[in-house]
Amino acid sequence: MRTSIRLIIESALRLFTPWLLVVIAVIWAGYPGVACITPLAWLLALPVGVRIEAHSTSPGAGQRLREAALAGALLGLLQGILFLLIMPRLGPLQADERASAGMIALALLIIGIPIAAGLSTLTNWLAQRRISQPAG
């Protein structure tokens, strides 16, 4: 069985790109605090699992679950990196605040990856279940 790297990357980027454009537009408008809703953006991983199920050519259900998890993890990683890049624009920090701000940013990056992977895997599993159940 072969993992579809192209589908994984494409699925993550299809949902990350609009998020990136919105964040850039809102920051450009003068509101860099939009980066603070990154945990809400993890919900963008939900459609990734459904997309993988719809477009994957992998024959096994387990393989499609892995693809969904990898695509979700990539989305979480990209969102975490975006938060790390935007964080300095949130405003000046006092010396004692820098360490805690860095820990928060690192936590969002580390926690976001498994959360997005889990959400994507969950929706993929639900889509597989829905497809495999007979109608009626």
Per-residue pLDDT of the chain (136 residues; tens, 9 = 90+): 577 899 999 999 999 999 999 999 988 998 877 877 878 888 999 999 999 999 988 888 889 999 999 999 999 999 999 988 888 777 777 777 777 878 888 888 899 999 999 999 999 999 998 887 776 5
Q: What is the number of domains present in the chain?
A: 1
State the residue range of the domain holding 107. Answer: 5-132
Q: For 120-134, b where at least 16 C-beta lie within 10 A, e where not — what string?
A: bbbbbbebbeeeeee
CA distance 86 to 30: 12
Question: Cβ(60)–Cβ(81) under 8 Å?
Answer: no
Q: Tell me the residue ranges of DSSP E strands in 8-125.
A: none
Closest CA to 65 of 5, 117, 9: 117
> Token pair for residue 28?
């450009």
CA distance 46 to 124: 8
Which pTM does this prediction carry?
Answer: 0.89
